[in-house]
Amino acid sequence: MMRHFCPLLILLFLTITPAVIAIDSVTTEIADSIGIGSSDSIAVGAVSVEESVRTFQYPMSEERKALLISYSKFVSRWRFLSFFIQVAIFLILLYLGLSGLFRRWAEKISRKKIPMYFFYFLFLTIFLFLINLPFGYYRGFLIEHQYGFSNQSFGEWFGESLKNEAVGLIFGFAIILILYWLINRFRKWWLLFGLGAIPFAAFVIIIYPVVVAPLFNKFEPIRNQEVASAMRDLAEKAGINNPDIYEVDASKQSSKVNAYFTGMFGTKRIVLYDTTIRNFSVNELKFIMGHEIGHYLLNHIWYGLLTAVILIFFAGFLADKILPSFIRRNENRFGIRNLGDIASLPVFLLFITVFGFITQPINNGVSRYFEYQSDEYGLKLSGVSGEEAAIAFDKLSVFNLSDPEPSALTEFWFYDHPALKKRMENVKDFYKKQLAIKCTDKVCDFKNTEF
């Protein structure tokens, strides 16, 4: 849903942030699963994709450790680089007067507002897609191949990128219609936009798992019967009857491992990657499942939605204060008449990009808090030991080449999940604490933790 270079989804970014809650970083894992690829099992680095999908090296070899260090370095540099690239693209677009030009083209096709908006948005989408293509190809295709994650052909990758754009075009256009209708009618448009974002975001979260996700992957019941029944038992133990648990063919896009909870009301579901099922023991999977059940029952999607809506209100308020004078000062150069002119959209996108970057620690801080909560919940529910849960995290780090110990600032700013090393320590401590409580009545059997 949130791919690195889907500019049309930038506007959606805040609304869709809480749509998927995973065991490992959503912004990289889920995001990549939509837009990366490779083919022909190119052997790069130390492991070929085919091998890595089937059996990962665990514990980590020296070669894999070197890969982990180099991939983590790349990822942390790319976080800054991609931000500056986006900002530069919007500035170029504005200062060359392209946005005004796209609007004039659209006006030539139709004078009626809705079709004119549509054609403007289509031109902008195509422009942004093409200009972002080399960066998307480098990050999503080349790098993911180089580190042995991806197994898609260029055609498959490109096809998914187009599909992704089409989804962005539909949702983005809906948002634009609402946004500009409000701006042109109400002085306090941002207040109404913030209110409207609540049902809209809920709608997106409801339909995402049943309409959008199946466009990219197949979702089926878990094939391994032992795993399937263990997962079902766990959900039932937590009081979820007839749980919707799926196995997704995530290996189609990447060998990375993950699991997530998504949906609202009738579309709530827990999804395990086929790569995870293949590489994790039943106990480790029980812990992961317990973690996702934690997200499910602790209503984290709702709290995530609340955080996003508060940020949308704040963003709208600031945009209303800052953007009109920015547009007025550059009226001739940008070719934009005012905030209510559809050609002001790149100004909004630029603003949201910067706002999103600056406010990331808020979203991420909330998310990390939920992750700790779910980790502890998962441990309690599954009854696995702290050591076993810690191995699950270690595997996430080794298989996904994610840095278990990033700097404090990097974690604070960019990590929507706590650093894996901290999560490992936390589950071990939590387990010991539980054990201490249990042992007060001289019963130290932890396998039957009451839930």
What is the arrangement of strands in the sheet containing 219-220, beginning at the earlier edge strand?
Answer: 20-22, 259-262, 269-273, 245-248, 219-220
Alpha-carbon distance of 112 to 92, in angstroms, equals 28
Q: Between β-strands 259-262 and 245-248, what pairing exists: parallel, antiparallel or unpaired?
A: unpaired
**Residues in binding contact with Zn ion, number by CB under 5 A:** 2
Alpha-carbon distance of 196 to 319, in angstroms, equals 17
**Which region, judged by CB under 5 A, interacts with Zn ion, from 8-16, 72-80, 233-241, 368-376?**
368-376
Of residues 369 through 388, those in contact with Zn ion by CB under 5 A are: 371, 374
**Which region, judged by CB under 5 A, interacts with Zn ion, from 50-58, 148-156, 364-372, 440-448?**
364-372
Q: Residue 375 or residue 388: which is nearer to Zn ion going by CB?
A: 375
Q: Residue 251 or residue 374: which is nearer to Zn ion going by CB?
A: 374
Q: Residue 275 or residue 374: which is nearer to Zn ion going by CB?
A: 374
Q: How far is the CB of 203 from Zn ion (least distance, A)?
A: 23
Site string for Zn ion, 283-302 (x = CB under 5 A): --------------------
Buried b (16+ CB within 10 A) or exposed e, 283-314: bbbbbbbbbbbbbbbeebbeebbebbbebbbb
Q: Count Cβ atoms within 10 A of the Cβ of residue 440 and give its class: 0-12 exposed, 13-18 middle, 19 or more buried.
A: exposed
Q: How far is the CB of 298 from Zn ion (least distance, A)?
A: 10
Backbone angles phi, psi at 273, to 5 degrees: -70, 145
Q: Residue 165 or residue 284: which is nearer to Zn ion going by CB?
A: 284
Site string for Zn ion, 318-357 (x = CB under 5 A): ----------------------------------------
The residue among 277, 276, 271, 308 whose CA lies nearest residue 293 is: 271
**What is the 8-class DSSP label of residue 209?**
I
Q: Residue 339 or residue 391: which is nearer to Zn ion going by CB?
A: 391
Q: How far is the CB of 294 from Zn ion (least distance, A)?
A: 8
Q: Residue 45 or residue 406: which is nearer to Zn ion going by CB?
A: 406
**Contact (Cβ atoms closer than 8 angstroms) between residue 446 and residue 385:** yes
β-bridge partners, 122: none
Half-sphere exposure of 132 (CA within 13 A, CB side): 28
Structure tokens at 134: 């080399």
Q: Residue 341 or residue 371: which is nearer to Zn ion going by CB?
A: 371
**Which region, judged by CB under 5 A, interacts with Zn ion, from 207-215, 323-331, 366-374, 431-439?**
366-374
- Which residues neighbour 409 within 8 Å (Cβ) at sequence distance 6 or greater? none
Q: How far is the CB of 370 from Zn ion (least distance, A)?
A: 7
Q: How far is the CB of 256 from Zn ion (least distance, A)?
A: 15
* Residues that bind Zn ion in the complex, under the rule CB under 5 A: 371, 374
